[in-house]
Amino acid sequence: MNLFGKKEKNAYIIIAGCGRLGAGLAASLSLKKKDVIVIDEKEEAFRKLAASYGGLTMCADAADLGKLTDAGIQRADVFIAVTDKDNTNIMAAQLVRQLYGVRHVLVRVYDEEKIRLLAGTGIEAFCPAELSEKEINRYMNWEDEDED
C-alpha cells in the first residue's frame, strides 16, 4: 500500500517514538524528502537519528494534545506511533484519528490482544511478534501447509 500518491508527495508525517524503528523510519522518510517530525519523551532518544535526518524533533508525550497541536497534527497526513508503550501508542493513535481526522494512522502494538481495541477505527495496527511469525513461516514455506 502506497500512502504517498501524487497528492501526498510532500506528506507531513509525525512519528511518535524515536527507538530503532522510529529513528529508522524518520531517516528513510527524510531521505525521500518527506516532511517529518519525531516526538519522544526522552531527549537522548534523538541520538538514534541518522546524521542525514533533515526533519524536526520534539521532546514530548505523544498523547499530549497541546504538544500534538504544537507539532502540527492538524495538518498531518500520516501519524505513526511506535513508542515502547502500547497504551501510549493506542491512545495517541485514537486521539489523532478521532479528534484531528488524520487519514493514515499506524500503530505498533506488542500485545496482540490490544489490537482488538482498534477494530473499526480506521487505525492500522501491527504486532512485531505476529509479523515475525508470518515472515518465518514465509521464509520456511510453512504458510501453505495444512495443519494436522
Single pTM value for the model: 0.85
Q: Which CATH number fits domain 9-139: 3.40.50.1000, 3.20.20.70, 3.40.50.720, 3.40.50.1100?
A: 3.40.50.720
The maximal CA–CA distance of the chain, rounded, in angstroms, is: 55
The lowest-confidence range among 18-22, 102-106, 119-123, 143-147 is: 143-147
Distance CA(20)–CA(25), nearest Å, equals 9
Sequence spans of domains, the chain: 9-139
Q: How would residue 1 be classed by pLDDT, with cut points 50, 70 and 90?
A: very low
| pLDDT for position 142 | 72
Exposure of 27 in the CB half-sphere (CA atoms within 13 A):
14
25-83, pLDDT tens digit by residue?
999 999 999 999 999 999 999 999 999 999 999 999 999 999 999 999 999 999 999 99
- E-strand ranges in the chain read 12-16, 35-40, 56-59, 78-81, 104-108, 123-126
Q: CA dist 91 to 42, 108, 132, Å? A: 19, 12, 24
Could you give the percent of the chain with pLDDT greater than 90?
Answer: 74
Q: What value does the mean pLDDT of the chain take?
A: 89
**3-7 contact pairs (CB < 8 A, 24+):** 3/77, 3/78, 3/104, 4/34
Distance CA(32)–CA(2), nearest Å, equals 14
118, 35, 54, 25 alpha-carbon torsion, rounded to 10° = 30
